[in-house]
């Protein structure tokens, strides 16, 4: 089993639309282990740091406004190839390009309301986890179903 971790955030539209349970369930059903979770109202400074690579983009002000519009459910998931597989579970960033069966393919239409964020690499996952969670907020435990998920 891998101890690779990824950061998945359910954005304000996902929280407001009551999709939290359905989204968390996709990761649990797949066999990934939830190791951190909290509902937060992100600050502008947190979001500017989180999206630092996008601050010069013309859409950044609307992204910032959208992400400040309500609570975000921040989560950390652990398991084999979880960064890549987490992105596959979410679907393409543009929901119209997302396959049915993915979170965005099932629950979103516009890119500006795409329900979730997922880390795009192990490096960005580590950075995002450290940004959103204190080390003591990320749990380490053995999942009881471990032997039924991993060889």
30 annotated as belonging to a binding site for a ligand:
no
User: Active-site residue among 26, 33, 50, 117?
Assistant: 117
The single-letter DSSP state of residue 50 is H
113 is in an annotated binding site: no
Cβ-based neighbour number of residue 21 at 10 Å = 7
Instruction: Measure Cα distances from 150 to 13, 55, 84, 143 in Å.
Output: 34, 40, 17, 11
84 annotated to bind ligand: no
21 among annotated binding-site residues = no
Buried b (16+ CB within 10 A) or exposed e, 48-64: eebeeeeeeeeeeeebb
Q: Is there a catalytic annotation at residue 50?
A: no
Does the annotation place 107 within a ligand binding site? no
In the numeric block, the tokens 């950044």 are attached to 60
11 assigned binding-site residue: yes
Question: CB-based burial of residue 39 (10 Å sphere; 0-12 exposed, 13-18 middle, 19+ buried)?
Answer: exposed
For residues 79 and 72, give the distance between their C-alpha atoms in angstroms, rounded to a whole number: 23
The SS3 of residue 120 is coil
Annotated binding-site positions for ATP: 11, 59, 87, 93, 104, 114
Point out the annotated binding site: 11, 59, 87, 93, 104, 114
Query: What amino acid positions are annotated as catalytic residues?
Result: 117
């Amino acid at each position: 089993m891998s101890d690779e971790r990824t950061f998945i955030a359910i954005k304000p539209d996902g929280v407001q639309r009551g999709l939290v349970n359905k989204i968390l369930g996709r990761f649990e059903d797949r066999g990934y282990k939830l190791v951190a979770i909290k509902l937060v109202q992100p600050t502008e400074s947190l979001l500017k740091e989180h999206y630092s690579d996008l601050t010069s983009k013309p859409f950044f002000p609307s992204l910032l406004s959208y992400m400040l519009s309500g609570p975000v459910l921040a989560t950390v998931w652990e398991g084999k190839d979880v960064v890549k597989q987490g992105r596959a579970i979410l679907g393409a960033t543009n929901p119209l390009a997302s396959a049915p069966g993915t979170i965005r393919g099932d629950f979103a239409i516009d890119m500006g309301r795409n329900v979730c964020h997922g880390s795009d690499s192990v490096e960005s996952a580590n950075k995002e986890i450290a940004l959103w969670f204190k080390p003591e907020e990320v749990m380490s435990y053995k999942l009881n179903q471990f032997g039924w998920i991993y060889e």
